[in-house]
Amino acid sequence: MDNTQYFYRTVIFTRHGDQIALANIDNPQQTTPLEEWLGLVISLADGQHSIQQLIDFLAAQYSQVPDKLEDTVHSVIERLTDSQMLQLSDHAIDLPYYLASPIEELDLEKARALIKEHQQSVH
């Protein structure tokens, strides 16, 4: 995996305490909890940081860096990209409004309108 690539989420998420979950923009109370590592990476996937920056950030959280930290991060990123919740890019990405923050920080009407506008421009 190329650690110079940037990673960004393609899903709307919510944060309740330490739990990260996928959120439904049309029914914000409908959530799908994510495993701890998956949720952590989704919450940090702002398109402005490389995989190497993610690894460095996570390593700084430990007094003794786990031996397999980079392998774990690569595995998590592969799972998230395979499930299309995360994408990789060779350059920084500005996320659209509706993906930039947890759902509880969004103006839901604005987010829904922007999603609809995006869907119409794609089709």
- Domain-located, residue 96: yes
- Domain-located, residue 38: yes
pLDDT at 20: 96
- Domain-located, residue 85: yes
- Domain-located, residue 1: no
- Domain-located, residue 69: yes
Q: pTM (2 decimals)?
A: 0.91
Number of domains in the chain: 1
Instruction: Quick: pLDDT tens for 12-22.
Output: 999 988 899 99
CATH of the domain at 79: 3.90.930.60
Contacts of 20 (CB under 8 A, 6+ apart): 13, 14, 33, 34, 38, 39, 40, 42, 43
pLDDT at 122: 77
pLDDT at 17: 84
Structural domain including 91 reads 6-122
d(CA 69, CA 83): 21
- Domain-located, residue 89: yes
